[in-house]
Chain A
Amino acid sequence: MNAFFLAVLFMALLIIGVPVAFSLGLSSLIYMIFMTDISIAVLVQRASSSFDSMTIIAIPLYVLVAELMNLAGITDRIFQFARNLIGWLRGGLAYVNIVASIIFAGMSGSGLADIMGLGRVEIKAMKDAGYDLDFSAAVTGSSSIIGPIIPPSITMILYGMLAEQSVGKLFIAGFLPGLIMGFALMVLVFLIARKRNYPRDPFEGIRALLKSFLQALLPLLTPFIILGGIVGGIFTPTEAAAIAAAYAFLLGFLIYKEVRLRDLPELLGKVAEKTAAILLIFGMASIFSYLVTLEQIPEMLSNFLVTFTDSPVVILIIINIFLLMLGCFLDPGPVIIITVPILIPLVVLYQIDLIHFGVIVVLNVMVGVLTPPMGLQLFALTDITKLPFDRIVRAIIPFYIPLLVVLLLCTLLPAAVMWLPNLLMSGR
């Protein structure tokens, strides 16, 4: 009954528009006052101690990397390289869009950074080449969610912290599903491009391809620095983020000369504002999770579901549906922060691997950013294309098919997720 009160209170505050961070804090506060003997000082103590970790510092640093890459014009170089590489296929710019997102995903952990940086370049190029704006927006939006699936990934860091799992292993586990997702999107693009007879770029020749490759070479090294460092045991994910940030800054400032020192305070302030809002939710959720655990809500949920099924696959599918529904209303960060502490005991009970589960959670919440009414990526696309929200939603509907197929594949076939981390990081 007490647990029910806490949940209803939280939901009620969310529904009347109280920000997620304060809904978590306020519902915990009211609950503590009326339902427990716990001192309110615990509320402050929990919020403060939740940041006493080096792993969580990686989150703003990866956002900083993405912002620096965008400011340094690195996105243009990646796009040009992808265009010379694959733009000569029918509907080539749509493939370029996906390939560029996959490359950018190896440098940035944020899907929104993909849309706001690379997306602008991609949509403009597609529009100039005669593609429908709706289709361009749909390809850009659906490929942008690969960003947080292929490492590095901000959402995976959050999951790793909450589930107490190796962030490095999670990063590696996301690699293959991200590539499969890119491939699945390309299959759909192939079918649509043939049907609508979309244009193709002329092949510029090996020399142009090589030139654009060399121009993009230094940024292309970023994923190798990040992943090589983590897999090789040279850096922690947080250190890799700081190294990548320094590398992106040096590229933009010294080599490409696109980053000016006077741009930095505003850029840093923007990163602070963006990430602090999510991190505050993390802090407030630690109080909420404490109460949830105290009231044994995860155990109650597990006991309830155990009476229905003993199949891990059925449980994963139920969780998928639940997370996808939640994703329609909430951003990835809050969904992960609120649900993971509740779901982990259930997942452990069903003996599901927590790294495998982490990738499934991230896939779900990333599809969520593309679903109405509150899809974060959809709003960003509306902002860039100036198309009405409902037109973007309509255009993106066919793209749900490959994304959901990949989600289902990764749910049913753990090897698709676990093969690479088991190969590269077994025993860690």
Chain B
Amino acid sequence: MKSLLRFSIRHPESLISGLLLAAIAILIFFEVFTRFLFGHTPSGMEEIETLFFIWFVFLGSVSATRQKGHVSIFFFVARLNPLLRQFVIVVADVLVIIFLIVFTVYGIVYTKREMLSLSAILEIPEGYFALCIPVSAFLMAVYSFLILKENLGKLFRMRKENI
């Protein structure tokens, strides 16, 4: 129980996205089960599964940002001299943050617009689907900023030590 609590505090996004995945699996299983039993599935299940899935993807991406788990090519950067390498890493971090800020801002605009339309079956505001974008882009920007801070500190230390 202690380890579960520790995991929940340390990795809240991982925990939520993981639980969303479990919920999706259970819902799909239930869908198949009811189809076998009653010949049809409760309507709107796919909408709930899609809603959970989009939140799963974007919250999972936040977790990947935090763990530096996004796929990137480090082959060329690794061949630079240490100081230049660290500088390039910082530049890449800054670019990612700029992109995520734009994504957050336009994500809010998009979500506001989507709140006005409803999903086809359950009539859930489409904005609930879109909301995951500004929320996760903002969280990714925050974590990327922390990574940038760490990398900048390293760059300054390297300059001081003249590596």
Chain A residues packing against B (C-beta within 8 Å): 13-22, 25-26, 29, 40-41, 43-45, 47-48, 51-54, 56-57, 60-61, 64, 235, 238-239, 241-243, 245-246, 262, 264-281, 283, 329-331, 333-334, 373-374
Contacts and interface: CB of A to CB of B under 8 A. Distances in A.
B76 A269 contact: no
A41 B100 CA distance: 13
A269 B107 CA distance: 25
Given A17-B92, A262-B4, A333 B71 contact: yes
A22 B7 CA distance: 27
A13 B95 contact: yes
B1 A239 contact: no
Chain A interface SS verdict (over half): helix
B138 interface: no
A60 B21 contact: yes
B24 A57 contact: yes
Nearest to A13: B95
B118 interface: no
A18 B96 contact: yes
B117 interface: no
Contacts, number: 200
Given A41-B109, A272-B14, A15 B76 contact: yes
Interface in B37-86: 46, 49-50, 53-54, 56-61, 63-64, 67, 69-77
A44 B133 contact: yes
Given A40-B106, A41-B110, A64-B25, A22 B99 contact: yes
B72 A17 contact: yes
Contact of B60 (A13, A245, A265, A275): A275
B24 A266 contact: no
Contacts of A21: 61, 70-71
B3 interface: yes
A277 B70 contact: yes
Contacts of A15: 73, 76-77
A262 B95 CA distance: 39
Contact of B88 (A16, A54, A266): A16
Given A17-B92, A21-B61, A264-B22, 10 more contacts: A17-B77, A29-B102, A40-B106, A44-B106, A235-B32, A269-B18, A272-B59, A274-B69, A276-B57, A277-B60
Nearest to B60: A276
Contacts of B24: 57, 60-61, 242
B64 to A, nearest CB: 4
Contacts of B54: 48, 51-52
Given A238-B28, A242-B32, A272-B21, A48 B71 contact: no
Nearest to B96: A22
Contact of B7 (A64, A266, A275): A266
Interface string B108-136: 01100100000000000000011001000
B71 A279 contact: no
Interface string B10-38: 01001101111110110011011000000
B89 interface: yes
B76 to A, nearest CB: 5
A272 to B, nearest CB: 4
A269 B130 CA distance: 22
